[in-house]
C-alpha cells in the first residue's frame, strides 16, 4: 500500500482567521476544503516541504512554523502521515496561486465536515 507523508500549513492571521483552499476536481478528496500543503519529497524534512509547498500553492514565504500535531490516516488505497504546522509568521499575502478557490475563515467557524476525514481531530483541536 502507498504511504504518503504530507506537510500541512495552518496559516493563521492576527484576527484568528485561517486561510483554507479547495481541493481540485481531479484530486483525491476533490471538492473538500483543506489547509494548504503537500507531499514531503525524498530527502526533505516535513518543515522544508511545508515551506516549499506553501510558496508554490499560496505565494507566501514562511518565516516560522511550529509543529502542532502528527496524524496517520488509512484510506482504502493509501496510508497518509500528516504533519500539521501552525504558521503565524510569513512574508507576502496568501492567495490561490494555482487558481484554486480560497478563503479566510474565523478559526471558531471551521466545519470538520467540509474537510477530508483525516482533518477532523485537528479541526476539533482548533475549534475547542
Measured CA to CA, the distance from residue 85 to residue 45 in angstroms comes to: 13
Cell of 36: 494548504
Which residue is listed with cell 474537510?
115
pLDDT tens-digit readout, 34-46: 999 999 999 999 9
pTM over 0.85: yes
Which residue is listed with cell 496568501?
94
Tell me, what's the pLDDT at 75?
85
Tell me, what's the pLDDT at 69?
96
∠ CA(9), CA(99), CA(78), 5° rounding? 50
pLDDT tens-digit readout, 81-124: 999 999 999 999 999 998 999 999 999 999 999 998 889 999 99
pLDDT tens-digit readout, 2-51: 999 999 999 999 999 999 999 888 888 889 999 999 999 999 999 999 99
The answer to whether 97 touches 59, Cβ cutoff 8 Å, is yes
The answer to whether 87 touches 12, Cβ cutoff 8 Å, is yes
Tell me, what's the pLDDT at 85?
98
Amino acid at each position: 500500500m502507498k504511504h504518503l507523508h504530507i506537510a500541512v500549513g495552518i496559516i493563521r492571521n492576527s484576527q484568528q482567521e485561517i486561510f483554507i483552499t479547495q481541493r481540485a476536481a481531479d484530486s483525491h478528496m476533490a471538492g473538500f476544503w483543506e489547509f494548504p500543503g503537500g507531499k514531503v519529497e525524498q530527502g526533505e524534512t516535513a518543515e522544508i516541504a511545508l515551506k516549499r509547498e506553501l510558496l508554490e500553492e499560496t505565494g507566501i514565504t514562511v518565516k516560522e512554523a511550529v509543529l502542532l500535531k502528527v496524524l496517520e490516516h488509512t484510506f482504502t488505497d493509501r496510508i497518509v502521515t500528516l504533519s500539521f504546522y501552525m504558521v503565524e509568521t510569513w512574508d507576502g499575502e496568501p492567495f490561490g496561486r494555482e487558481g484554486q478557490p480560497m478563503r479566510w475563515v474565523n478559526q471558531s467557524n471551521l466545519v470538520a465536515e467540509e474537510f477530508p476525514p483525516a482533518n477532523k481531530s485537528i479541526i476539533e483541536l482548533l475549534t475547542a
